[in-house]
Amino acid sequence: MFHLTLSQQAAVTVPIGSDLSLRRSAFKAPNLNFRDKPWAPVLTLDLKANSSCLRSRNVVCMSVQQASVPKVSVSPLELEDAKEPPLNLYKPKEPYTATIVSVERLVGPKAPGETCHIVIDHGGNVPYWEGQSYGVIPPGENPKKPGAPHNVRLYSIASTRYGDSFDGKTASLCVRRAVYYDPETGKEDPSKNGVCSNFLCDSKPGDKIKITGPSGKIMLLPEDDPNATHIMIATGTGVAPFRGYLRRMFMESVPTYKFGGLAWLFLGVANSDSLLYDEEFSKYLTDYPDNFRYDRALSREQKNKNGGKMYVQDKIEEYSDEIFKLLDNGAHIYFCGLKGMMPGIQDTLKRVAEQRGESWEEKLSQLKKNKQWHVEVY
């Protein structure tokens, strides 16, 4: 259970929630699945402050964990210094060659489709901020331009700027394998499967990967007010940037960003086996009940009030009064994932606004003007 990390400062690492009973009690929907993840978050306790941990490990470290919620120390803190986010440090003509650290399937056996968590070592050379994306150029030739490389595919980064190893040297992606099924036979046609997502999900530790970026400013986490409210709406892999935000808010110890506001995540997936990073998010519910809310919409397991599929927009409707009040008080709202969710969400918000005697068009233009409205769908 305990081991020394490789981080520059000597540290003891404790897997969060390695006690299953703790995880179960932390979780509010007992009929959902749990899967142990090798990349499960770790708490890093500074050895200088907790040297007794080494002498009497279990007792001291448990009491530390219970007394408060220790956060992970991260480095290098210079990653906080820039005033502007890094942008397009590497372009398609001269991509950076990074190395795959790990590829882990995130979903259970009953999930339709496969989603993988991919950790990439960029050696600290392709820094990024939470909410940005990397481009990936899959190996091989572009079928539309013989002799030329494939086009760049964008992937939202699912880690904070410090990466899952907290040392600023890695970035993580959350990738859904694009599989093509012949509409007539219903059978998979591998010749039409997505090039880049399959390359990423099939890659092995040590493989090389060409990346560009980082790119994107729309989904940057506004940090001017550490007590702000952030309402995050995700379908599937759209959860990626929110995982980054939440790790920054609740897992990492960043001296210049001490989050004291409210983060509210709505996550839409097909079923409980398809939930992404659920243990990590459930842990925040236990540790930060006043600062975190987490609502799941399981489209193929739950029904909405009309007996249809439970989608994120149905959850939004359920909490619409609170959401509208929070927006009126300056909350940021973010949408990431399936492009197809936006019309349904807009319809829901419009209907709710009308019921409240408000004009959705006016409200939306105000939200956009105030930079409270952030959309990245694909």
Binding residues: 156, 176, 237, 299-300, 309, 337-338, 376
Q: In the set 197, 203, 235, 282, which binds ligand A2P (CB under 6 A)?
A: 235
The listed partner (ligand FAD, ligand A2P, none) that binds 197, CB under 5 to 8 Å by sort, is ligand FAD
Look at residues 332, 301, 303 and name the one whose alpha carbon lies nearest to residue 318: 303
User: Binding to ligand A2P by residue 335, rule CB under 6 A?
Assistant: no
How far apart are alpha carbons 109 and 90 in whole angstroms?
Answer: 37
Look at residues 105, 37, 115, 62 and name the one whose alpha carbon lies nearest to residue 280: 37
Binding residues for NADP(+): 156, 176, 237, 299-300, 309, 337-338, 376
| Least distance between ligand FAD and beta carbon 145 (Å) | 14
Which range binds ligand FAD by CB under 6 A, 20-28, 30-38, 188-196, 363-371?
188-196
Is 292:250 a contact under the CB 8 Å cutoff?
A: yes
User: Binding to ligand A2P by residue 308, rule CB under 6 A?
Assistant: no
Helices (H), the chain: 20-26, 52-55, 57-67, 195-202, 240-246, 278-287, 312-318, 320-328, 341-355, 360-369
Selecting among 180, 322, 359, 378, the annotated active-site residue is 378
132-149 in b/e form (b: 16+ CB < 10 A) is: bbbbbbbeeeeeeeeeeb
User: Binding to ligand A2P by residue 177, rule CB under 6 A?
Assistant: no
Q: In the set 44, 132, 172, 197, which binds ligand FAD (CB under 6 A)?
A: 197
User: Binding to ligand A2P by residue 269, rule CB under 6 A?
Assistant: yes
Q: How many CB atoms lie under 10 A from the CB of residue 79? A: 18
Selecting among 128, 155, 162, 311, the annotated active-site residue is 155
Is 277:239 a contact under the CB 8 Å cutoff?
A: yes
Q: In the set 18, 192, 340, 354, which binds ligand A2P (CB under 6 A)?
A: 340
Residues 105-134 that bind ligand FAD (CB under 6 A): 133
Q: Which is nearer to ligand FAD, 17 or 244 (CB)?
A: 244
Residues near 288 by beta carbon (within 8 Å), at least 6 away in sequence = 69, 250
User: Binding to ligand FAD by residue 180, rule CB under 6 A?
Assistant: yes
The listed partner (ligand A2P, ligand FAD, none) that binds 240, CB under 5 to 8 Å by sort, is ligand FAD
Q: Is 376 a catalytic residue?
A: yes
AA identity, residue 341: M
User: Binding to ligand FAD by residue 237, rule CB under 6 A?
Assistant: yes
Q: In the set 136, 312, 323, 326, which binds ligand A2P (CB under 6 A)?
A: 312
Q: Which is nearer to ligand A2P, 172 or 197 (CB)?
A: 197
The listed partner (ligand A2P, ligand FAD, none) that binds 156, CB under 5 to 8 Å by sort, is ligand FAD
Residue 181: strand, helix, or coil: strand
How far apart are alpha carbons 221 and 369 in whole angstroms?
Answer: 17
DSSP bridge pairs for 337: 377
User: Binding to ligand FAD by residue 195, rule CB under 6 A?
Assistant: yes
Q: Which is nearer to ligand FAD, 215 or 302 (CB)?
A: 215
E strand segments, the chain: 3-4, 11-15, 42-46, 72-73, 96-105, 115-121, 133-137, 153-156, 170-176, 208-215, 229-235, 252-253, 262-269, 292-298, 332-337, 373-377
Q: Which two tokens stand for residue 248?
A: 């920054």
Q: In the set 13, 156, 172, 203, which binds ligand FAD (CB under 6 A)?
A: 156
Q: Is 378 a catalytic residue?
A: yes
Is 193:260 a contact under the CB 8 Å cutoff?
A: no
Q: How many CB atoms lie under 10 A from the CB of residue 17? A: 23
Interface residues toward ligand A2P, by CB under 6 A: 176, 235-236, 268-270, 299-300, 309, 311-313, 338, 340-341, 344
Interface residues toward ligand FAD, by CB under 6 A: 133, 153-156, 174-176, 178, 180, 192-198, 237, 240, 376, 378
